[in-house]
Amino acid sequence: MKAKKANHSVAAKTETTSKRPTFALKDDGQVVLQVTSDDHISKMLGCTSADFANELAFNCFQVGGAMADSIEKGNRALGIAMEIQPRDAVEALLATQMAATHTTMMQFSMLIANAQKTQQLEFLERAINKLARTFTAQMEALRKHRNGGKQTVTVQHVNVSDGGQAIVGNVQAGG
Protein backbone atom coordinates (compact mmCIF):
# COMPACT_ATOMS: atom_id res chain seq x y z
CA MET A 1 0.00 0.00 0.00
CA LYS A 2 1.56 3.28 -1.09
CA ALA A 3 1.47 6.29 1.17
CA LYS A 4 -0.51 9.19 -0.18
CA LYS A 5 1.78 12.11 -0.98
CA ALA A 6 0.87 15.23 0.91
CA ASN A 7 -0.01 18.41 -0.91
CA HIS A 8 1.52 21.44 0.72
CA SER A 9 2.61 24.89 -0.15
CA VAL A 10 3.66 28.06 1.59
CA ALA A 11 0.21 29.48 0.86
CA ALA A 12 -1.37 26.57 2.71
CA LYS A 13 -1.80 28.42 6.00
CA THR A 14 -4.84 28.87 8.17
CA GLU A 15 -5.46 31.07 11.17
CA THR A 16 -5.73 29.34 14.53
CA THR A 17 -5.85 30.22 18.19
CA SER A 18 -3.23 27.59 19.06
CA LYS A 19 -0.25 28.88 21.03
CA ARG A 20 2.15 27.21 18.63
CA PRO A 21 2.00 26.46 14.92
CA THR A 22 0.73 22.98 14.05
CA PHE A 23 0.00 20.96 10.95
CA ALA A 24 -3.50 19.80 10.09
CA LEU A 25 -5.06 17.78 7.29
CA LYS A 26 -7.91 19.44 5.39
CA ASP A 27 -10.85 17.47 4.01
CA ASP A 28 -9.39 17.72 0.48
CA GLY A 29 -6.18 15.99 1.65
CA GLN A 30 -4.09 19.14 1.70
CA VAL A 31 -1.78 19.68 4.66
CA VAL A 32 -1.91 23.16 6.14
CA LEU A 33 0.24 24.91 8.68
CA GLN A 34 -2.01 26.51 11.26
CA VAL A 35 -0.63 29.77 12.64
CA THR A 36 -2.06 32.71 14.59
CA SER A 37 -0.59 35.26 12.18
CA ASP A 38 1.78 35.49 9.23
CA ASP A 39 4.79 36.14 11.44
CA HIS A 40 3.83 33.57 14.11
CA ILE A 41 6.01 30.77 12.73
CA SER A 42 8.84 33.24 12.08
CA LYS A 43 8.88 34.35 15.71
CA MET A 44 8.72 30.77 16.99
CA LEU A 45 11.71 29.76 14.83
CA GLY A 46 13.74 32.95 15.30
CA CYS A 47 13.56 33.95 11.62
CA THR A 48 12.88 37.27 9.96
CA SER A 49 11.39 35.74 6.79
CA ALA A 50 8.01 34.01 6.92
CA ASP A 51 8.85 32.13 3.71
CA PHE A 52 12.06 30.76 5.25
CA ALA A 53 10.23 29.79 8.45
CA ASN A 54 7.46 28.07 6.47
CA GLU A 55 10.03 26.06 4.52
CA LEU A 56 11.69 24.94 7.74
CA ALA A 57 8.30 24.02 9.21
CA PHE A 58 7.45 21.89 6.19
CA ASN A 59 10.88 20.26 6.42
CA CYS A 60 9.80 19.15 9.90
CA PHE A 61 6.57 17.83 8.39
CA GLN A 62 8.52 15.76 5.86
CA VAL A 63 10.35 13.93 8.67
CA GLY A 64 7.06 12.09 9.30
CA GLY A 65 7.30 9.95 6.19
CA ALA A 66 4.06 8.14 5.33
CA MET A 67 0.98 10.35 5.24
CA ALA A 68 -0.67 8.48 8.10
CA ASP A 69 2.16 9.48 10.42
CA SER A 70 3.18 12.81 8.87
CA ILE A 71 0.86 15.14 10.77
CA GLU A 72 1.66 13.79 14.23
CA LYS A 73 5.39 13.30 13.61
CA GLY A 74 5.63 16.64 11.82
CA ASN A 75 4.04 18.40 14.78
CA ARG A 76 6.46 16.65 17.13
CA ALA A 77 9.51 17.58 15.03
CA LEU A 78 8.27 21.17 14.75
CA GLY A 79 7.72 21.21 18.51
CA ILE A 80 11.30 20.04 19.10
CA ALA A 81 12.66 22.75 16.77
CA MET A 82 10.63 25.46 18.50
CA GLU A 83 11.58 24.20 21.98
CA ILE A 84 15.25 24.85 21.13
CA GLN A 85 14.17 28.50 20.79
CA PRO A 86 16.33 29.48 17.83
CA ARG A 87 17.48 33.10 17.86
CA ASP A 88 18.35 33.51 14.18
CA ALA A 89 18.25 31.76 10.81
CA VAL A 90 21.38 29.66 11.47
CA GLU A 91 19.94 28.42 14.76
CA ALA A 92 16.61 27.74 13.03
CA LEU A 93 18.38 25.57 10.44
CA LEU A 94 20.24 23.71 13.19
CA ALA A 95 17.07 23.33 15.26
CA THR A 96 15.13 21.71 12.40
CA GLN A 97 18.12 19.47 11.58
CA MET A 98 18.35 18.47 15.23
CA ALA A 99 14.62 17.72 15.29
CA ALA A 100 14.95 15.52 12.19
CA THR A 101 18.03 13.74 13.57
CA HIS A 102 16.41 13.10 16.94
CA THR A 103 13.10 11.97 15.45
CA THR A 104 14.82 9.56 13.06
CA MET A 105 17.05 8.21 15.82
CA MET A 106 14.01 7.50 17.99
CA GLN A 107 12.20 5.80 15.09
CA PHE A 108 15.22 3.55 14.53
CA SER A 109 15.46 2.87 18.26
CA MET A 110 11.89 1.58 18.16
CA LEU A 111 12.69 -0.63 15.18
CA ILE A 112 15.76 -2.17 16.81
CA ALA A 113 13.57 -3.75 19.50
CA ASN A 114 11.72 -5.69 16.79
CA ALA A 115 14.70 -6.57 14.58
CA GLN A 116 14.48 -10.23 13.57
CA LYS A 117 17.76 -10.68 11.74
CA THR A 118 21.35 -9.92 12.65
CA GLN A 119 21.69 -7.87 9.47
CA GLN A 120 18.75 -5.64 10.49
CA LEU A 121 20.12 -5.29 14.01
CA GLU A 122 23.59 -4.32 12.78
CA PHE A 123 22.20 -1.80 10.28
CA LEU A 124 20.00 -0.13 12.90
CA GLU A 125 22.79 -0.12 15.47
CA ARG A 126 25.15 1.64 13.05
CA ALA A 127 22.47 4.10 11.98
CA ILE A 128 21.52 4.97 15.57
CA ASN A 129 25.19 5.40 16.48
CA LYS A 130 25.76 7.77 13.52
CA LEU A 131 22.61 9.73 14.31
CA ALA A 132 23.59 10.05 17.99
CA ARG A 133 27.04 11.35 17.01
CA THR A 134 25.48 13.72 14.49
CA PHE A 135 23.07 15.05 17.12
CA THR A 136 25.96 15.64 19.53
CA ALA A 137 27.86 17.52 16.81
CA GLN A 138 24.74 19.60 16.09
CA MET A 139 24.39 20.49 19.78
CA GLU A 140 28.06 21.54 19.86
CA ALA A 141 27.59 23.65 16.72
CA LEU A 142 24.58 25.35 18.31
CA ARG A 143 26.52 25.99 21.52
CA LYS A 144 29.46 27.48 19.59
CA HIS A 145 27.15 29.64 17.49
CA ARG A 146 25.36 30.97 20.58
CA ASN A 147 28.61 31.68 22.43
CA GLY A 148 30.37 33.18 19.42
CA GLY A 149 32.83 30.28 19.47
CA LYS A 150 34.29 31.50 22.78
CA GLN A 151 35.11 29.20 25.64
CA THR A 152 35.93 30.37 29.12
CA VAL A 153 38.49 28.33 31.03
CA THR A 154 39.60 29.36 34.50
CA VAL A 155 42.87 27.90 35.71
CA GLN A 156 43.86 28.52 39.28
CA HIS A 157 47.11 27.58 40.94
CA VAL A 158 47.51 27.52 44.69
CA ASN A 159 50.78 27.00 46.61
CA VAL A 160 50.56 26.06 50.26
CA SER A 161 53.76 25.70 52.25
CA ASP A 162 54.21 23.13 55.00
CA GLY A 163 52.04 24.04 57.95
CA GLY A 164 50.03 26.57 55.94
CA GLN A 165 46.29 26.63 55.28
CA ALA A 166 44.38 27.61 52.14
CA ILE A 167 40.80 28.19 51.08
CA VAL A 168 40.02 27.35 47.47
CA GLY A 169 36.95 28.96 45.92
CA ASN A 170 35.23 32.31 45.65
CA VAL A 171 35.69 34.07 48.98
CA GLN A 172 33.88 37.26 49.88
CA ALA A 173 34.49 39.31 52.98
CA GLY A 174 31.17 39.69 54.74
CA GLY A 175 29.63 41.32 57.70
The pLDDT tens digits along the chain (175 residues) read: 344 444 444 334 555 555 789 988 888 888 888 988 878 889 999 999 999 999 999 999 888 776 656 888 889 999 999 999 999 999 999 999 999 999 999 999 999 989 999 999 999 999 999 999 999 999 999 999 999 877 777 767 777 888 877 776 677 776 5
Quote the CA–CA distance of 152 and 48 in Å, as a whole number: 31
pLDDT at 147: 93
pLDDT at 3: 41
Residues whose CB is less than 8 angstroms from the CB of residue 20 and which lie 6 or more positions away in sequence, other chains included: 44, 78, 79, 82
DSSP string, 114-163: T--SHHHHHHHHHHHHHHHHHHHHHHHHHHHHHHTT------------TT
pLDDT at 4: 42
pLDDT in tens, 72-86: 888 999 999 999 999
> What secondary structure letter does DSSP report for 22?
E
